[in-house]
Amino acid sequence: MQDRTAALKAELIERMEAEREAHLALLQDFLRIRSVNPPGDMREACAFVRGILDRHGVPYEILSAREDMPNIVGKWRAGGPGRHLVLNGHMDVFPAVEDHLWAAERANGRITARGASDMKTGTLASILTYCLLHPHREALQGELTLTVVSDEQSGGRYGTAYLFEEHAGKVLGDCCLNGEPSGLGNVRFMEKGTLRFSLSAEGAGGHGGYPHQAGNPIRQAMAAVDEIYDAFHMREAEMPAEFRRILDDPATVEAANRLLGNGAADTAKRITVNVGILRGGFKATQIPGACEAHLDMRFPVGPERDRARPRLEAIAARHGCRLEVNEAHSYPASSTDPYGEMATILRDNTRALLGREAPPVCSLGGTDTRYWRWRGIPAVICGPSPLSMGTNDEHVTEDEAMAVLKLHLMCALDYLGRAEAPAG
């Protein structure tokens, strides 16, 4: 079986490289679709993905909580009994101010576009893996499911969360492989938890020259934000000893700093705070009647997230603000075994394809893999560099895009090439 799997892997990777231009052009077409969230309308992107699946003649269905946020779920069974692998990716992307990001132009060996990093490259890897392995399913073991979802960028309420709430039997599986931006040459084993919340303050308002008449809600909100930063931002978190040992390992530190930016290894161990939106007032000469700040906090695995909530409520009250947590977009940290079967498969294939080692690294952003990890199901991430995601220069190199496509195919093939996990 191993010899047959290795031969099939070599054949498919050779074919993928021969069709390199077609795959990169397909990625460009996917990137040109303005699947921005918010507002989150994914119908055009869904139609594009359905076109790929239809051309390959593979089975799928549409499962939706909202008409404008469809989710594509496909499944096929292999020729023999075995495990169930789930591929997961999302269609929605961050908003873009610069219009050139929708041109998806190729220049100097890279494609510049919104979603090139986060995460249409990885989602296309899932789609093509599902399609390209289908003709060879009789030689494989188990089942392969494809989930291409909406709404990941806004918390997943109408995407992966909806699928787990309403169609869990179709998407649980025994293992998940996801293509979120990770950088090549690491295994993302831990993902920080989040608290997303707003702070709001109100007042009577008035003329700016009459501060004795009314308090200023902007000052109240800013004071609360400043205290939250002072209390939490970049404070080293309490975490289980086994996680700290991994994060302190020199190989992990080097990989995190190289792939996620210098300082990332230290940030992985700390609580972070970001105020992303501040709204208040209409003009400089007027005391505003209201102000609202929106914040995002991230916490490593451990008790810090639960401890923070009552402290945040006290800070808000101290400054006359109302705190409201966005529960749909706040969640606990998650983790997976960095030396489990799929993590080992990814590590071996990264070494074989790229000649790189892949030590365990902590994710600094969020992914839908948490829905599997919370249920004890291994979930591994393999995607392009995250460093440009959300910027006006978001891009993926052509070589990196092809490596992500190949690695997903190789890892799925290895997993489905045997009926059960190897002993030991």
The chain-wide mean pLDDT, for the chain, equals 96
- Domains of the chain, by residue range, sit at 2-190+333-416, 193-235+271-329
Contact 324/197 with Cβ under 8 angstroms?
A: yes
Weakest mean pLDDT among 4-8, 321-325, 334-338: 4-8
Contact of 241 with 300, CB cutoff 8 Å: no
Cα torsion for 91, 170, 181, 331, to the nearest 10°? 100
What would the CATH number be for the domain defined by 2-190+333-416? Answer: 3.40.630.10
Work out the number of other CB atoms within 10 angstroms of the CB of residue 135: 12
Q: Can you name the residues that pair with 85 across neighbouring β-strands?
A: 144, 175
**pLDDT tier at 423, thresholds 50, 70, 90:** low
pLDDT of residue 20: 98
Q: Residue 367 pLDDT > 90, yes or no?
A: yes
CA–CA dist 92, 258 (Å, integer): 27
The predicted model gives 319-347 an average pLDDT of 96
Q: Rounded mean pLDDT of 301-307?
A: 97
Q: Can you name the residues that pair with 73 across neighbouring β-strands?
A: 61, 147
Return the pLDDT at 424.
56
What CATH number belongs to 193-235+271-329? 3.30.70.360
pLDDT digits (tens, 9 = 90+) for 70-98: 999 999 999 999 999 999 999 999 999 99
Q: pLDDT tens digits, residue range 129-180?
A: 999 999 999 999 999 999 999 999 988 999 999 999 999 999 999 999 999 9
